[in-house]
Chain A
Amino acid sequence: MTDIRALEADIAQAADSGAPGRSAWYRLEPAILGTASIAVLLVLWEVLPRLITMSAGTKLFFTTPTQIAGTLWRLFATGTIWTPLGVSASGFALGLGLSIVVGLPLGVLIGRSRTLNAMLDPFITAFNATPRLVFLPLLMLWFGLGLEMKIVIVFIGALFPILINTYEGVRNADKTLINVVRSFGASEWDVARLVVVPNAMPYIVAGLRLAIGRAVLGVVVAEFFGSESGLGVMMVQAAGRYQVDVVFSGLIVFAALSLAMTAMVQVLESRLSRWRPQRAGGE
């Protein structure tokens, strides 16, 4: 009896005194460890080449973080990067935009109409099962090496995640809620606007996240294998001239673009899910 009491008191005390300090560390731990490991890696990368003697030939293939930072700065300061960046970004944005404009309504339509679904399903299944990049040679033939080809390759890459996710979300719509709006005389358009699309929004956002990845991939591959200009072209040409720092600069810009887009989707997601119960530990 006394033992249990003592034990309970101990636990209570431990929980009391330990909790606040632990929770602050607990919250910050991942961020601190993440930043620290990046910092360690960068320092090692910077220092090691200075400690190891390499032949001039080997040195050709390496660069250091400070060198990359300098090159990035130069590329932006002199403005050399703006043209290729603009080309890549337009291909990405236009292709992705087009895939949203087409994929979202089409996903809603095939989700709502059995007829359309039966008609289009074979195409969608076949297209989706094929790696979209195998169309690249054809697209280069048909659309050339300019912006149009890039838009099309991005479009067909990003279309299916959006289309298929929208479709799944639409199929998942709550029948009762559809009846609710119908009972107020809602048209099929009202049903889509008021119930089906809001209900599918989490699916659509997840599809968008996937689509962004596919879109970036589309831009990169199109530019690696045959384009007139773009960040990828800049990287390939730099690699041919052993300008490893320029290659890394392109890589960093691509990574930054992807991260920025993902962050935008996250903002969109949290704005769209204000009506949801907050998960434990969420914002």
Chain B
Amino acid sequence: MQAYISGRNVNLTFRPPNRGPVRALQNFDIDIGEGEFLSIVGPSGCGKSTFLNVLLGLIKPDSGDIRMDGKPLAGPGTDRAMVFQEFGLLPWRTVQANVELGLELKGMSSDTRREVSQPLIEMIGLSGFEGHFPHELSGGMKQRVGLARALATDPNVLLMDEPFAALDAQTRDLMQVELLRIWQTAKKTVLFVTHQIEEAIYLSDRVMVMTKRPGRAKKIFKIDLPRPRDYEMRVTPEFNELKLQIWNELKDEITV
């Protein structure tokens, strides 16, 4: 498999003022294929979200080689977009203006923006809510806006930082189904960070387990469940076997 995104020997240490340095990533290696859905699970603070921010171009690693489509990564770009954990919607912007944020920053005219945002808002099932402000929406609706905003600039890579963590369990299940549907039609490369092993297995082609800080790739599991996935797969013996294996890798890394 030709890696679409590759990271080699990525090292990153945070040096917060008034505190000691924190090694976030140490010799971190990763390969993600084009169109692949890869999840990362790992203990809290292991640097998985940090790596997403590195890929997004917001944080520069101290050393290491990160390539996308063969080219070294340089700063933020519209070929990548992030879906944020706490949604990251601008509270003073309507649903439509939030979805169009990236397009606006690309300098697109409002008519063109509308042509892009309208079908997306329809796709996420929020037609009629274009003029609503985020505080008027439920958590699930907010995250669908976050997803639509990330898709609006038509990126090749979707980075998702525990996107469903702030949602209740039922909404989360529905959002997972929705995400898979969108991923299958839009054919994006997805890097998905989560704490939930079940969620990672259900969604992914492969699941990476990370060590505790400083984070390295510990083990990668290939998920051979057929696609399209459905909810019943979650109760199959294979699914539970995977869940157990991943948990066994992960539990040594977790300190309470």
Contacts and interface: CB of A to CB of B under 8 A. Distances in A.
Interface of A: 176-177, 179-186, 190, 194-195, 198-199, 201, 274-277
A275 B84 contact: no
Contacts of B58: 179, 182-183
Interface residues of B, number: 26
Contact of B76 (A184, A198, A275): A184
Interface in B66-90: 75-78, 80-82, 84, 86, 88, 90
A184 B80 CA distance: 9
A275 B91 contact: yes
B153 A184 contact: yes
B53 A179 contact: yes
Given A186-B105, A275-B135, A180 B90 contact: yes
A184 B102 contact: yes
Contact of B101 (A181, A201, A274, A276): A181
A264 to B, nearest CB: 21
B105 A184 contact: yes
B6 to A, nearest CB: 21
A180 B58 CA distance: 10
Contacts of B57: 183
A177 B90 contact: yes
B90 A184 contact: no
A176 B86 contact: yes
Interface in B29-86: 53, 56-58, 75-78, 80-82, 84, 86
A186 B76 CA distance: 9
B81 A183 contact: yes
14 contacts: A176-B86, A176-B88, A177-B90, A179-B58, A180-B82, A180-B84, A182-B58, A182-B76, A185-B105, A186-B105, A190-B105, A198-B90, A275-B93, A276-B135
Contact of A183 (B82, B91, B93): B82
B78 A185 contact: yes
A275 B92 contact: yes
Q: Which of A181, A194, A195, A275 gathers the greatest number of chain B CB atoms within 10 Å? A: A275
Contacts of B77: 185
B129 interface: no
A181 B153 CA distance: 13
Given A179-B53, A184-B102, A275-B92, 6 more contacts: A176-B86, A183-B56, A183-B80, A186-B105, A201-B92, A274-B133
Contacts of B84: 176, 179-180
Contact of A184 (B53, B101, B133): B101
A198 B134 CA distance: 15
A198 B135 CA distance: 16
5 A-B pairs with the lowest CB-CB distances in the bound complex, closest first: A184-B102, A180-B88, A275-B92, A275-B133, A277-B135
A179 B90 contact: no
A interface secondary structure, majority: helix
Which of B57, B88, B133 has the most chain A CB atoms inside 10 A of its CB? Answer: B88
Nearest to B75: A185
A199 B133 CA distance: 15
Nearest to B146: A180
Contacts of B93: 275
A195 B92 CA distance: 9
A109 B92 CA distance: 22
Contacts of A195: 90
A185 B58 CA distance: 10
A176 B80 CA distance: 17
Contacts of B133: 274-275
A118 to B, nearest CB: 14
Nearest to B101: A184
Nearest to B153: A184
A249 to B, nearest CB: 43
Nearest to B85: A176
A190 to B, nearest CB: 6
A274 B135 CA distance: 11
Given A176-B88, A198-B92, A275-B92, A181 B105 contact: yes
Nearest to A195: B90
A277 B132 CA distance: 11
B193 to A, nearest CB: 15
A190 B105 CA distance: 8
Contacts of A277: 135
Interface in B97-147: 101-102, 105-106, 133-135
A176 B56 CA distance: 13
Contacts of A194: 90, 101
A201 B93 CA distance: 14
A177 B76 contact: no
Contacts of A186: 105
Contacts of B56: 183
Contacts of A198: 90, 92
